[in-house]
Amino acid sequence: MSAAPSFSVFAAAALLAADCSRSAEAGPAAAKAASPDAGARRPLPLNPLEKIYAGGLMPEWQNYGWAEGDLKGPGPAKVDFSNRAGWIIAAPGLRDGPSLRRRFGGVAFRYQAPADFGEFLEVRLSLQDSDFDSVKLTPAHLTAQADGWTQVLVPMRELNPHGQAFDRLRIRATRSVGSTRVQLDQIALTVPGSEPDEKVPYPSREARGVVHCERPGSPISPYIYGVSAAQAPDEGLRAGAHRWGGNTTSRFNWQLGDTWNTGSDWYFQNVKREPFSAFLQLAQQRKVFTAITVPTLGWVAKDGDSYSFSVKELGAQKDADPQHPDRGNGEKPDGSPLPSPAPTRTSVAAPPDFVGAWVKSIRQADEAQGGTVREYILDNEPALWDSTHRDVHPEPVGYDELYERTVKYGAAVRAADPKAVIAGPAEWGWPGYFYSAKDAKAGFRSKPDRKAHGDVPLLAWWLQRLAEHEKKTGQRVLDVVDVHFYPQGKNVFTNGGGGGADLETAKLRLRSTRALWDKSYTDESWIKEPVFLIPRLKQLIAENYPGRGISIGEWNFGAEQHISGGLALAEALGRFAEGGLHSAYYWTRPQDRSPAWWAFRAFRNYDGRGAAFFDSYVPSDAAAGTSLFVSRDAKGKKLVVVALNLENQTSADLKLDLSSCGALSQARAFTYDGAPEGLVESKPSSTAGAKSFSALLQPWSINVFELSL
């Protein structure tokens, strides 16, 4: 991933040269008019400290729309504010730059609009689309200029009273106006006043918590902190496990080493990519637990350039590879599917002994380097094969096929590596827990495949049969039940770690994490019933095949670049620890210095020097609107607490009862609330001898407390 552009804060003196006459002439008058209580405060200077637009956008700032007009310059921007349009200007590089919390006095700009528009504009700051309150421009913010322009200055105490980090500015019409374009120029963040505004605290609520050191704890697997893209630099993330997986691994040909088929993800074509050996070497260098997806589909790519649906041979198709126009998507122009070709067009057979030979070769190469590969996942999302890999597996997978492939390929893995951890079936989501792909094709109401198998839900039936197989043969072909989980609420998650960052979606994202653990939570999506995934899987295993572990082989709650995405990730990691999961693999990997990345760091490297959540989980009780996850070291002398404030408009006055754990001797605290600095260390008030711990959790924040007893 390339580095984000740097964000430079210009010295006021360097900027004054271009604007000295205007600033000297208009600054004091504008400042006096801009502040409703100017008599109680010294006037704010108008001098720009960070230019945003001056005859054109400054290099660090980008146009994020959505208003029409000439927004590039040269000269003033010309903006059409009709239909209550707005102009968003952002500096995405702020994440890697210095904090903007208290550096500026206000937002200034000049505009020229028809007189009949009247008072029609508002200004708002935000961070990654998390909007602060807007400020409607009134005469107190405006100063008429002799040249027909109007000077605007809005103090930070109005735009950003709580002193939050921000990375974008929005100027918008508050009502309908004509389509005559309004000219704007000299948009800037100004120097602060000589008396900086005080940060206004958020309203606070009481949040009592209790840590139950007197209750039995449970071990935490380091493999729950897994990622699915180990090839990227670690950069201090300290992932606990790496997974080789995804749709394309269903068609990976280990004998060629770097070749697989992209399936429906990219026009059903064979490609060559980074060799598997490079992945394995990197995993060995990092000495972390590694899971490898092995193909059980039965076909793998035969070369690096074959493809399934030729436009020349089969006619026009709905879509084709832009770089290779003969490689179609397998659909007629009306969207109906073309018949699947013979699998041999792109692939060669990959029976169980093919996979067994690969596992044996991995074992030999890996043991020579100390051994990191310990888990093999039996393919990827088989319920979707008739879609993702329909060119070689056009028929949907049923109950019997899933079981038979599990036994045959699982046996091959076990024979090649008797100590292996074998996981499956790696199903994609909610329907795949209960129904087969045959049921999905026929319709879940009719569910013919399930009815033919005693109307027993798919995973329950599959586990029963595997338990019977082990009892009958003495051969165990499954150690871990692996399923995938993605929130299904509208716009909560989109591929690539995306998802909505508006307030409504952000709150839905945080509520949707309850689907992992809360039996009382009805999923707010098409599912419309409680999911309670971790307790459900535990019960499923206990009733049908006791002793199996649980893995969430893929998961992601979206909005990696927004604080709600970071909070959801932290909540999920805490629930995985609480639930005693064997492993979990984030899809794919949090982007460096994103809120999701910092949330990961809260558990794995909160001080940047390797300090992490411990390996023993301690039960706790948390107040509404907060989550508490507590771990203890092996000697029982230290606790690490991750505390989340899931409310965005109130801080939480945390009072943590530690009476069952012992008296405090010292504490360290780290907080992340979406600001570019990441996890910031602070020194708590005196704690020596206390049997409780107090802290103020800022709205939408991730907090780590290291407590020595």
As a whole number of angstroms, the distance between CA 521 and CA 677 comes to 35
As a whole number of angstroms, the distance between CA 350 and CA 256 comes to 13
As a whole number of angstroms, the distance between CA 484 and CA 551 comes to 8
Structural domains in the chain, CATH included, are 12-190 (2.60.120.430), 204-216+620-708 (2.60.40.1180), 221-308+346-612 (3.20.20.80), 310-343 (no CATH)
pLDDT at 60: 86
CA angle 287, 292, 295 (to 5 degrees): 165
| Cis peptide leading into residue 588 (ω within 30°) | yes
Copy the structure tokens of residue 246: 């995804």
As a whole number of angstroms, the distance between CA 293 and CA 95 comes to 35
Cβ neighbours for 665, distance < 8 A, ≥ 6 positions apart = 687, 688, 689, 708, 709
pLDDT at 49: 87
Closest to 304 measured CA to CA, from 274, 265, 276, 271: 271
CA dist list (Å): 448 to 9, 70, 418, 441, 589? 65, 60, 37, 10, 39
pLDDT at 687: 75
In a 3-state reduction of DSSP, which class is residue 447? coil
Quick one: angle between helices 352-367 and 399-416, nearest 10?
40
**377-395 burial, b if ≥16 CB within 10 A, otherwise e?**
bbbbbbbbbbbbbbbbbee
With beta carbons less than 8 A apart as the criterion, state whether 126 and 506 touch.
no
pLDDT at 65: 77
Flag residues of the chain having pLDDT under 50: 1-42, 95-102
As a whole number of angstroms, the distance between CA 375 and CA 370 comes to 15
Closest to 675 measured CA to CA, from 267, 101, 1, 23: 101
Q: Is the dihedral of CA 44, 45, 51, 55 positive or negative?
A: positive
Closest to 42 measured CA to CA, from 27, 31, 26: 31
Closest to 511 measured CA to CA, from 501, 502, 500, 522: 522
Closest to 81 measured CA to CA, from 40, 102, 111, 50: 111
pLDDT at 611: 97
Please return the burial class of 534, using the count of CB atoms within 10 Å of its CB with bins 0-12, 13-18 and 19+: buried
pLDDT at 43: 59
As a whole number of angstroms, the distance between CA 160 and CA 132 comes to 7
As a whole number of angstroms, the distance between CA 72 and CA 53 comes to 9
Can you give the length of the chain in residues?
709
Alpha-carbon 289 to chain mean position: 22
- 3-class secondary structure per residue, 139-187: HHHEEECCCCCEEEEEEHHHHCCCCCCCCEEEEEECCCCCCCCEEEEEE
**452-467 burial, b if ≥16 CB within 10 A, otherwise e?**
ebeebbbbbbbbbbbb
- 3-class secondary structure per residue, 285-326: HHCCEEEEEECCCCEEECCCCCECCEHHHHCCCCCEECCEEE
pLDDT at 593: 87
Closest to 371 measured CA to CA, from 422, 423, 420: 420
In a 3-state reduction of DSSP, which class is residue 361? helix
